[in-house]
Structure 1
Amino acid sequence: MHSYSTKDWLSFIFNFHKSDTFIKLIPMMLGIGIYAGLVGYLEVEHWKLGSDHYLRNFNLMHNLLGFVLSLLLVFRTNTAYDRWWEGRRLWGSLVNNSRNLAMKIASVSANEHDRAFFRKAISDYAFVLNAHLKDEETSKQLFDDLDLEIDHHKHKPNQVAKTMMERANEMYREGRISGEQLLFINPELLSFTDICGACERIKNTPIPYSYSAFIKKFIFFYVITLPFGYAFSLGYLVGPIVIFIFYVLASLELIAEEIEDPFGTDENDLPTQKISENISKHVAELI
């Protein structure tokens, strides 16, 4: 995750980071600008269309559709941010539950072998879950047209959670903890799988294809028709203005695409590796 100061306006405006949408959109913006300038030249200089030509009222369509497009982009951005924020909440729960389990193990068990086991297992679960969510194949497990080899391998986070559950029950059977103490630590043991399942739900369920495709097509056709109506009043200025409009609309879609999968390796994805390291540090301090 990129570190920044929310109060530093100048760095936001004048610095271009590698994840900035402006850099990603430069090729398309150049193409759109050339196209808009060409349309403006043809309408004004080559075809010499008069002020009474019906194309002059073409921008009425954009006035009507602009409101619809803005609603779609707001919904798209809010949905993507909700997924990002839910992912952050889940990893925050993982941090808290790991700490709680570590404190409970430290309080109910004086056996150094058991404490050392949970010290390592709790930390390992965070790192294994991080690697599991960053695996490209994890996000494709629900695709109907793919038969992934991963389906034939053991689920690694489940294996770590299983070993912790087995160790807790072994401690109970051998009398190292009581039945009440087993029930005392059980909620945290179960929470690991709950958090993993919720993260997989976000990872495995992208925005529906038809919805995402429609927004991209809507933005594209909205922008390429802008020069037909506005070239009469803007002339050659229609090129840079259409570029700016395309930059704003396409950037919102790019930002939504990046944050809707918060467990990836993009610049604005969640710092799950750093969170895993913090969990390991805190667990080692508690047990």
Structure 2
Amino acid sequence: MVQYNPKDWITFIFRFHKSDTFRKLFPLMIFIGIYTYGVGYLELEYWKLSEKNHLSNITVMHGMLGFVISLLLVFRTNTAYDRWWEGRKLWGALVNNSRNLAIKLHVILKDEHDRSYFEKLIPSYASILVKHLTNKETSLQLFDDVHLQIDKHTHHPNQVAKMIFQKVNDLYEQKKITGDQLIILNAEIQSFTDICGACERIKNTPIPYSYSAFIKKFIFFYIMTLPFGYVFSLGYYAVPVVVFVFYVLASLELIAEEIEDPFGFDANDLPIEKIAANIKKHVEEVF
């Protein structure tokens, strides 16, 4: 996760981070610039079209569609950010629930061996969940045309949760905890599986294909038709204008693509490995 000062405008404007969309789009921007120059040359030098040509009125279409494409991109980025923020809230809940479970077990249990068992196992759930969510095959489990090699019966987060509950249930049978305490601890353990399921929902349910594909096609054809009208009013200055419009529209789509899956290794993804390490530190402090 990129650490930055939101008040440092100069750094934002003149520094290009490795995850900046400018770096990713630079080859396409060069292509768009050459394409715009080629269209301008054909219309102004080769065909010698005048401003009275009907082709110059294509900018009317761009004016109408510009509003539509802006609404689509705003909805796209908002939806992607909602997924990113929901992932952050889920991991925040995992932090709090891990602390609560550790605190309650530390107070309830008197045997040092039992305490040591949970001191190791509670942080293990977060660590296993990190590996589960960053596994590429986890994101493909709902696709019909993908045949996974993983064993569906070895869902590792579930195995850890089962071990935790098995130990709690054994403590109840050994009369080390009461029935009321078992109910209290069960709610905390159940929340682990709820959080895991919600994270899996984000991971393996991307934005619908038809919606994502339509936006990309819309941006492509919108940009490809821009030079035909703007060269009449801007001449060869249409080259930087069209390139800039492409940079803005494509950057919004790239940002949405990156943050809609917050459980990965991109610069703007959630630092779940760091969060899991913090859970381990906090649980050890409690015990």
TM-score norm. by structure 1 comes to 0.99
| Stretch deviating more after TM superposition (48-57 or 16-25) | 48-57
For 1:70 and 1:161, the matched residues in 2 are separated by 45
Q: Secondary structure at the match of 2:94?
A: helix
**2:212 maps to 1:212:** yes
Q: Secondary structure at the match of 1:157?
A: helix
**For 1:95-244, what aligned pairs fall within 5 Å after superposition?**
95-244=95-244
1:110-155 Cα shifts (integer Å, max 9, x gaps):
1111111111111000000001000000000000011212244400
1:232-257 Cα shifts (integer Å, max 9, x gaps):
01000111110000000000000000
Which residue in 2 is equivalent to 1:22?
22
Report the CA distance between 1:219 and its aligned residue: 0.2
Report the CA distance between 1:157 and its aligned residue: 0.3
Q: Secondary structure at the match of 2:2?
A: coil
Which residue in 2 is equivalent to 1:5?
5
Which residue in 2 is equivalent to 1:277?
277
**2:67 maps to 1:67:** yes
For 1:33 and 1:259, the matched residues in 2 are separated by 28
Q: Secondary structure at the match of 1:225?
A: helix
For 1:261 and 1:151, the matched residues in 2 are separated by 24
Letter in 1 for 2:46: H
| Stretch deviating more after TM superposition (244-253 or 106-115) | 106-115
Report the CA distance between 1:191 and its aligned residue: 0.4
Which residue in 1 is equivalent to 2:38?
38
For 2:162 and 2:228, the matched residues in 1 are separated by 64
For 1:78 and 1:47, the matched residues in 2 are separated by 44
Runs in 1 of length 4+ with deviation above 2 angstroms? none
Q: Secondary structure at the match of 2:229?
A: helix
Q: Percent identity?
A: 66
1:70-128 Cα shifts (integer Å, max 9, x gaps):
00000000000000000000000000000000000011111111111111111000000
Q: Secondary structure at the match of 1:150?
A: coil
**2:248 maps to 1:248:** yes
Which residue in 2 is equivalent to 1:260?
260
Q: Secondary structure at the match of 2:48?
A: coil
For 1:235 and 1:193, the matched residues in 2 are separated by 61
Q: Secondary structure at the match of 2:150?
A: helix
Q: Secondary structure at the match of 1:3?
A: coil
Report the CA distance between 1:8 and its aligned residue: 0.6
For 1:79 and 1:238, the matched residues in 2 are separated by 33
For 1:254 and 1:124, the matched residues in 2 are separated by 34
Alpha-carbon spacing, 1:64–1:151, altered in 2? closer, same or farther (3 Å) = farther
For 2:183 and 2:50, the matched residues in 1 are separated by 83
Aligned length: 287
Instruction: Give 5+ residue unaligned stretches, structure 1.
Output: none
Letter in 2 for 1:19: S
1:47-85 Cα shifts (integer Å, max 9, x gaps):
111121101101111011000100000000000000000
For 2:115 and 2:239, the matched residues in 1 are separated by 67
For 1:98 and 1:67, the matched residues in 2 are separated by 47
For 1:97 and 1:278, the matched residues in 2 are separated by 13
